[in-house]
Homo-oligomer: A and B are copies of this chain.
Amino acid sequence: MVALQSALEIKEAMNLRELAQLLNLSQTTVSRALNDYPEVSEATRKKVKDAARRYDYRPNARAQQLATGRSMAIGHVIPSSSQHEMVNVVFSDFVAGASEVYAQHGYDMVVSMVADQDEVQTYRDIAQRQKVDGIIVHGPIQNDPRIPLLNELGIPFLVHGRSTGVESAYSWLDVNNRRAVERATSYLLDLGHRRIGLVNGFEHMDFAARRRAGYLSALAAKGVPADPDLMTSGEMTEPNGYEAACTMLDLDEPVTAFVSSSIVPTLGIRRALEDRGLKIGSDVSVVCYDDAISALPNGDPGAPTYTATRSSVRDAGRRCAEILIERIGNPTLPHVQELWEADLVLGGSTGIAATPEPVDR
């Protein structure tokens, strides 16, 4: 197929020198006028700005970056191992929030998705080649090596989440995962449930470990023994949620309730219940950790289908961006460490435990 070459005249972008010549001014003055430096008279400034607008002059970003030493960009590195968990749902909503703030401050967002084994190299590269002014660290695991690495590289960064075991100081923003799941579990216990399944994410992920801790601590507080058969961890996908739910529903002593780590596996749990003709809420209760993803149920406040611990990951993205930009502006500020509480939103997916479960022995 032959494609017609566009016949449109493509106007070369004009540069500072040309604009200065046009105005019979020096580059210095033009540059200062545009950047609101006080050394130019208001009259000249106006003239310059008008001309810039008229000729649609925009400073070349690459030159500007080289000259100023700032790249006006913030990096997000996503290890591909966590692709299935992170990328699809949570990450994209986070990014939507962050990029909103970036846009306001003139920052660009550069995203690298990278194989695990290349991760360290990627961080080194990004930092030393000065591609970005700051980095947001996603999906921290326990004892995450990226944190000391970034500290060593001396580039401002902010962790979305936390990393237990890391010695060095760093800035982070996290949701109180432990408390959230603790409350969710307690609530189910209060409803009379004793066989409560935990469908967790991979537990080397820091957030998942904390959720498990919350689950265990709620059980312990009520004197309910933890049963390894009722705790699964893995990718937070629909099929995985389905699998986990099937297993736990088909036990000799089946579960009567689930605590699920995300809305996505919860969809799988629902499918498993449906298969068995079990009604969610009345037959089996489900509480899920809801990141308030807009495309999925419960993102819509009008239809609170699930009882859930809810916290907006989009808001988190926004706030992370703000904090990081502030730290880029002044890296010597004390570290910011924000812990957000999730809401426990009651919905139709939970109810009194059906049978008081007579313990036969």
Q: Which residues of A contact B (CB under 8 A)?
A: 1-6, 8, 10, 13, 56, 58-63, 65-66, 71, 73, 80, 83-85, 87-89, 91-93, 95-96, 99-100, 103, 108-114, 118, 124-125, 128-131, 151-154, 168-169, 171, 235-239, 242, 264, 267-268, 271, 274, 293-297, 299-300, 302-303, 305, 332, 334-335, 337
Contacts and interface: CB of A to CB of B under 8 A. Distances in A.
A259 to B, nearest CB: 19
Contacts of A332: 5
Contacts of A95: 87, 111, 113
A85 B58 CA distance: 32
A239 B59 CA distance: 45
Nearest to A151: B6
A96 B83 contact: yes
Given A99-B112, A113-B103, A274-B274, A237 B296 contact: yes
Contacts of A2: 334
26 contacts: A1-B334, A2-B334, A8-B152, A8-B168, A10-B152, A13-B128, A58-B129, A61-B129, A63-B66, A65-B66, A80-B96, A88-B294, A88-B296, A89-B92, A89-B295, A95-B111, A103-B112, A110-B110, A236-B295, A237-B294, A237-B299, A237-B300, A238-B296, A264-B296, A268-B297, A271-B305
A92 B71 CA distance: 25
A87 B91 contact: no
Given A111-B109, A169-B3, A239 B92 contact: no
Contacts of A152: 8, 10
A114 B125 contact: no
* Number of copies of this chain that the complex holds: 2
Which of A83, A92, A114, A296 neighbours the largest number of chain B CB atoms within 10 Å of its CB? A92
Contacts of A4: 169
Contacts of A271: 297, 305
Contacts of A305: 271
A321 to B, nearest CB: 11
Nearest to A171: B3
A3 B56 CA distance: 46
Contacts of A3: 169, 171, 334-335, 337
A91 B125 CA distance: 26
Contacts of A58: 124-125, 128-129
A331 B112 CA distance: 25
Contacts of A6: 151, 168-169
Contacts of A267: 267, 296-297
A87 B264 CA distance: 16
Contacts of A300: 237-239
Contacts of A73: 110
B236 A303 contact: no
A127 to B, nearest CB: 8
B238 A297 contact: yes
Given A100-B113, A239-B303, A264-B295, 10 more contacts: A5-B332, A10-B154, A56-B128, A58-B129, A62-B65, A88-B93, A89-B89, A95-B113, A108-B112, A238-B299
Contact of A303 (B1, B108, B118, B242): B242
B108 A131 contact: yes
B131 A61 contact: yes
Which of A112, A114, A235, A302 neighbours the largest number of chain B CB atoms within 10 Å of its CB? A112
